[in-house]
Amino acid sequence: MESATIERPDPTPEPAPAAGPRPRKRHGGKAFLATLLLLGVTLVVGSRAADIDAFTPVPQLLAFLPWLLAPTALALLLALLSRRWLGLTWGVVLLGALAWYIEPYGKASEPNGPVVAEVRVMTSNVQFGRGTDALVKAVRRDRPDIVFVEECELTCSAKLRDTLGDLSGRTPDYPHRRSVEGYGSTGSVILSRYPLKSTDPIPGSMGMPGAVADVEGHPVRLQLAHPMPPLPGQLDTWRRELGALRAYAAKDARTPTILAGDFNATQDHAAFRAILDTGMSDAARLTGQDRRPTWPSPTAPRIGAQIDHVLVSEEDFSAREVRFRRLSGTDHNAVTVDLALHRRG
């Protein structure tokens, strides 16, 4: 008896999974970083727009406001890669605001009265006196009429007196001087070819001497500026000392005034703009070099901030030329300005 062969049907193949959309790549990290960058830049730009210096780290970042273009551009790229259109719009608005505020602050007008004297002014922070020798060489090369020297401690002050001042020989280059003698950063000196009448220094953490110069028969107020830098925990002192410089500038609007030194502030700080608003002009602004960094000198002029200034009363002075010089031993560039003093009206 033959056994029957039972044929089993072939197993039905399992249906292939339906093709669906590919899982979208995650860009959460890029979007998060873009948001952080945009928030940081917005805080700084918002403080600039509100005309306040706010709190740490805003004043420190305001000094480098033009360089905020870099993180803003990076945030735009990250927003584009992560397809965050809100971030793209936000970044474009910030770029526009930065471009607006990078423009020079204040007007650049010249007095229309006749020129009665020409004055060359130099200011230099010699960093605890370390740049004194280089400064002496720069003074002998540029031959300024008035020199403002910050952080000129006791040995620096003595060196200037012995090489350029009233102890340097029978006919000293700078027979007139006013100084606040001190150690470290507290000492400051004004050297002058013109006779000086003593005035009270502005009280501050560092020396800020002043005087009235007789410039070819015309009185000119001179004031050295060196307020406290905007260090964390020292912002109130920084604001107060810049406010004292503003009060000095506003006190006498009729006498020609030169206010020069290391302001530890740029045109992007509200406290510095308040000084300009009293009727002062920045000589670098008048010559189209208001964004030329003076500190830190190892990276200037490409990267840095312009915190060393020569300010002049806008109704009295025009600026012909501004030169920035790298001096060995100090982290500040010296600033030399050729000024013309005009008779008013």
Q: How far apart are the first and last CA of the chain?
A: 138
Q: What angle do the packed helices 69-81 and 28-49 form, to 10 degrees?
A: 150
pLDDT tens, residue by residue, 224-278: 999 999 999 999 999 999 999 999 999 999 999 999 999 999 999 999 999 999 9
Average pLDDT over residues 68-91: 94
Average pLDDT over residues 165-193: 93
The per-residue pLDDT of the chain, averaged, comes to 93
pLDDT band at 221 (very low <50, low <70, confident <90, very high): very high
Q: How far apart are the C-alpha atoms of 341 and 345, rounded to whole Å?
A: 12
- What pLDDT does residue 166 have? 78
pLDDT tens, residue by residue, 25-63: 566 889 999 999 999 999 999 999 999 999 999 999 999
Q: How far apart are the C-alpha atoms of 207 and 195, rounded to whole Å?
A: 21
CA 12-13-19 angle, 5° bins: 140
Q: How far apart are the C-alpha atoms of 300 and 293, rounded to whole Å?
A: 6
pLDDT band at 7 (very low <50, low <70, confident <90, very high): low
Q: What angle do the packed helices 132-142 and 154-163 form, to 10 degrees?
A: 30
Q: How far apart are the C-alpha atoms of 173 and 162, rounded to whole Å?
A: 11
What three-state secondary structure class fits 230? coil
pLDDT tens, residue by residue, 283-319: 999 999 999 999 999 999 889 999 999 999 999 999 9
Which residue do the tokens 């540029």 mark?
142
Given a cut of 50, is residue 192 above it in pLDDT? yes
245: region left, alpha or beta (phi > 0 left; psi from -120 to 50 alpha): alpha
- What pLDDT does residue 14 have? 63
- What pLDDT does residue 297 have? 95
pLDDT band at 164 (very low <50, low <70, confident <90, very high): very high
Q: E strand or H helix at 242, and its extent?
A: helix 235-251
Rounded to 10 degrees, what is the CA torsion of 66, 71, 74, 75?
Answer: -120
Q: E strand or H helix at 236, and its extent?
A: helix 235-251
- What pLDDT does residue 23 have? 45
Q: Which residues contact 286 (CB under 8 A, 6 or more apart)?
A: 108, 110, 318, 319
pTM for the full predicted model: 0.91
